[in-house]
Amino acid sequence: MILGIDTSLGTAVAVVEADGVVRAEASSDNPLGHAEAIGTLLEAALADAAHGAIGQTGAPEPVTLTHVAAGMGPGPFTGLRVGIAAARAFALGRALPVIAVPSHDAAALGFLLGEALADPFAEPGRFAVVTDARRREFAYSVYDGLDDDGIPVRVAGPALTPRADIDDVLAEAGAARRDVTTIPAAMIAALAGRALTAGRELTGPEPLYLRAPDVTLPAAPKRVGA
Amino acid sequence: MTRAEPLVLGIETSCDETGIGIVRGRTLLSNTIASSMDEHARYGGVVPEVAARAHLEALQPAIEAAVAEAGITLEKLDAVAVTSGPGLAGALMVGVGAAKALAVSLGKPLYAVNHLVGHIAADILTGDEVEYPTVALLVSGGHTSLLLVRDLVSDVELLGETLDDAAGEAFDKIARILGLPYPGGPEIDRAAAGGDPNAIRFPRGLTRASDMAEHRYDFSFSGLKTAVARWVEQAAAAGSPVATADVAASFREAVVDVLVSKALDACDRHGVPRLLLGGGVIANRRLREVALERADAAGVAVRIPPLSLCTDNGAMIAALAAQLVASGHAPSTLAFGADSTLPVTEIQVARGDA
Ligand SMILES: [Zn+2]
């Protein structure tokens, strides 16, 4: 089983079986308060996972995790880091490997699976996952269906654009806009499972900050006058 | 768990040091520190976002290194401890997120504690018996606080703190005025060598009789900073070379004088003949010298933990939690966050049985 954690928007935790069956999901949509929420959500998801797949109420059985999947953003930095730190520390505690997952890719997988369920023969068009990046900017990634490994094909992004420009940018890319306010941790874990099966790495260990730290080099000391 | 000698891992990320400490009761097993100080040097001070990014990068390797050095395995831990505040919010959150996940992962109790009280707890790792009550002077780039500690786990009183810059920040800012690199403490020390500490009489903030009623134990370094800047400007305007050694020595003397005078005054007025020093600025040789000299004359015993335990570190956080465990405090619940202005009276945060 894979533990998925994402704090790029709200705070989300899920436990998913190797074949993608979701065991447990616990999340808070609050765009703040990640550090406050993460511990309780982890505890809840793990307890829940012991009762079998969602909807089932079997007798508790041990939850044997094999990996921890971390949503790497993009997202507001302060919150984003909480989930990555939590994923790494949880993994250390159980001697498990961490799988880094771009958060937009997980949202895209969620869309594509949802569409496939609704109509297995539909050709999903090109679309963009769009999330709030604060400072009057959006973060976006453009996708074009699933590849043979069942992994969303990201053809552009993640990148930032001024909010006023997003529709032009997406029109240029020929992508339908999909605004996203939550990242499902179950999709973080499910996508990690697909990457694992395919032997692929989705992103490196660096968070997808997309912005350098906001710093200015110090000017010469201010004059204090005579 | 052996309650008297619990094995605790402490995580400290309140400023620019990622500190992971492991203690067994009062015994130090590892004090692993990864500092991002070099990354801040070009900015002349700690940049919160740079510090927070560095914490995330350093955390996992630092925990692994600490565990290896201590010769333990994580399953053996009796508890996990973390700094909840005070400090830089974004930096603290990295540690809080990691500590909660580690505690849940291991199924171990978690203790969320106060950074400043952690500085006091560092002293119990020195192997000597600590006597209470004691006055504690904690001086760093992030804080300047005078505390009365009657009991480490239950009774810490804030006597006073800085109203503006921390003493360490004052050193950094004066270093910049003198054209010296960051961090300012060691640079000012170097520049002051051979200088006359009495060459210029810089102001001692909040020491006038009129300040005493309200701010007897508080500190202020902004007036001193302005006075030094003005002195340097005037020297430059007059075309005379700035006597950097004298300025540095006189500035340092003013800071040290205020710190030590107020600390010994607190010892005197509270009838406590013990003074504990902590925080990174304690590395300043002149501060230690003057403190020891004047405390000796006043009949006050001074305790100074080794420097590696004075600067921010995770061992002090683990040590404080070990004392909380030993005194039977219930662990913290998981419902707490980072509190950048956590008052010193809150020794433990979100205590489960309180
Ligand atoms: Zn400190």
Does the CB of B2 have a partner CB in chain A at under 8 Å?
A: no
Report CA(B37)–ligand 1 centroid distance (Å): 14
Strand B348-349, strand B110-114: pairing = antiparallel
Output Rg (C-alpha) for chain A, integer angstroms: 19
CATH number for A116: 3.30.420.40
Please state the rounded mean pLDDT for residues B170-199: 94
CB contact under 8 A, B104 and A217: no
The percentage of residues in chain A with a pLDDT greater than 90, rounded to a whole number, is 82
Q: The complex's ipTM?
A: 0.95
Flag whether pLDDT at A214 surpasses 90: no
The percentage of residues in chain B with a pLDDT greater than 70, rounded to a whole number, is 99
Flag whether pLDDT at A226 surpasses 60: no
CB contact under 8 A, A39 and B45: no
Please state the rounded mean pLDDT for residues A2-14: 98
**Could you read off the pLDDT of B51-101 as tens digits, one per residue?**
999 999 999 999 999 999 999 999 999 999 999 999 999 999 999 999 999
**Cα(B69)–Cα(B26) distance, integer angstroms:** 17
Contacts of B106 in chain A (CB under 8 A): 93-94
Find the closest chain B residue to A40 by CA distance. B334
- Asked if residues A138 and A161 have their Cβ atoms less than 8 Å apart, the reply is yes
Does the CB of B203 have a partner CB in chain A at under 8 Å?
A: no
**Cα(B296)–Cα(B294) distance, integer angstroms:** 5
Is A203 part of any domain? no
Please state the rounded mean pLDDT for residues B156-160: 97
Q: Which of B43, B55, B98 comes nearest A86 by C-beta? A: B98
- Asked if residues B318 and B81 have their Cβ atoms less than 8 Å apart, the reply is yes
Note every long-range contact of B124-131, with CB atoms under 8 Å and residues 24 or more positions apart, other chains counting.
B124/B26, B124/B152, B124/B319, B124/B323, B125/B23, B125/B26, B125/B27, B125/B28, B125/B305, B125/B309, B125/B315, B125/B316, B125/B319, B126/B303, B126/B305, B126/B306, B126/B309, B127/B26, B128/B303, B130/B303, B131/B274
Exposure string for B255-272, b = 16+ CB within 10 A, e = fewer: bbbbbbebbbbbbeeeeb
pLDDT grade, residue B315 (50/70/90)? Answer: very high
3-state secondary structure (DSSP) of residue A73: coil
Is A53 part of any domain? yes
Please state the rounded mean pLDDT for residues A129-147: 96
pLDDT at A170: 97
Flag whether pLDDT at A225 surpasses 70: no
pLDDT at A61: 79
CB contact under 8 A, A221 and B229: yes
Flag whether pLDDT at B336 surpasses 70: yes
3-state secondary structure (DSSP) of residue A170: helix
**Could you read off the pLDDT of B262-303 as tens digits, one per residue?**
999 999 999 999 999 999 999 999 999 999 999 999 999 999
Strand partners, A71: A101
- 3-state DSSP of B159-206: EEEECCCCHHHHHHHHHHHCCCCCCHHHHHHHHHCCCCCCCCCCCCCC
Is A226 part of any domain? no
- Domain containing A105 equals 2-198
Find the closest chain A residue to B106 by CA distance. A93
pLDDT at A53: 78
3-state secondary structure (DSSP) of residue A129: strand
**Could you read off the pLDDT of B13-25 as tens digits, one per residue?**
999 999 999 999 9
pLDDT at A219: 62
Flag whether pLDDT at B161 surpasses 60: yes
Q: Which of A83, A93, A207 comes nearest B74 by C-beta? A: A93
Q: Which of A39, A207, A221 comes nearest B100 by C-beta? A: A39
Contacts of A84 in chain B (CB under 8 A): 56
Is A78 part of any domain? yes
**Per the structure, how many domains does chain A have?**
1
pLDDT grade, residue B130 (50/70/90)? Answer: confident
pLDDT grade, residue B152 (50/70/90)? Answer: very high
Is A224 part of any domain? no
Flag whether pLDDT at A221 surpasses 70: no
Name, in order, each residue with C-beta under 8 angstroms of A163's C-beta and a sequence gap of 6 or more. A136, A137, A138
pLDDT grade, residue A161 (50/70/90)? Answer: very high
Q: CA-CA distances (angstroms) from residue B326 to A63, B72, B108?
A: 32, 20, 16
Strand partners, A12: A6, A27
Question: How close does chain B come to A153, measured CA to CA in Å?
Answer: 28
Is A172 part of any domain? yes
Strand A127-132, strand B79-85: pairing = unpaired
**Could you read off the pLDDT of A190-208 as tens digits, one per residue?**
999 999 999 999 999 999 9
CB contact under 8 A, A86 and B101: yes
Contacts of B47 in chain A (CB under 8 A): 213, 215
Strand B110-114, strand B79-85: pairing = parallel
Please state the rounded mean pLDDT for residues B173-199: 94
pLDDT grade, residue B260 (50/70/90)? Answer: very high
Mean pLDDT of chain A: 93
Is A85 part of any domain? yes
Flag whether pLDDT at B314 surpasses 90: yes
Please state the rounded mean pLDDT for residues A76-105: 98
Structure tokens at B339: 């509190």
Lowest pLDDT segment from A36-40, A141-145, A202-206, A215-219: A215-219
Find the closest chain B residue to A80 by CA distance. B94
pLDDT at A59: 75
Q: CA-CA distances (angstroms) from residue B319 to A51, B20, B24, B104?
A: 38, 12, 8, 21
Find the closest chain A residue to B230 by CA distance. A224
Q: Select the more confidently predicted residue: A214 or B165.
A: B165
pLDDT at B2: 64
- Asked if residues B109 and B331 have their Cβ atoms less than 8 Å apart, the reply is yes
Which amino acid type is present at position A29?
A: D
Is A20 part of any domain? yes
Which single residue is written with the structure tokens 């620019």?
B16
Q: Which of B56, B90, B101 comes nearest A90 by C-beta? A: B101
Q: Which of A40, A92, A216 comes nearest B60 by C-beta? A: A92
- Asked if residues B221 and B205 have their Cβ atoms less than 8 Å apart, the reply is yes
**Cα(A23)–Cα(A107) distance, integer angstroms:** 18
Name, in order, each residue with C-beta under 8 angstroms of B328's C-beta and a sequence gap of 6 or more. B3
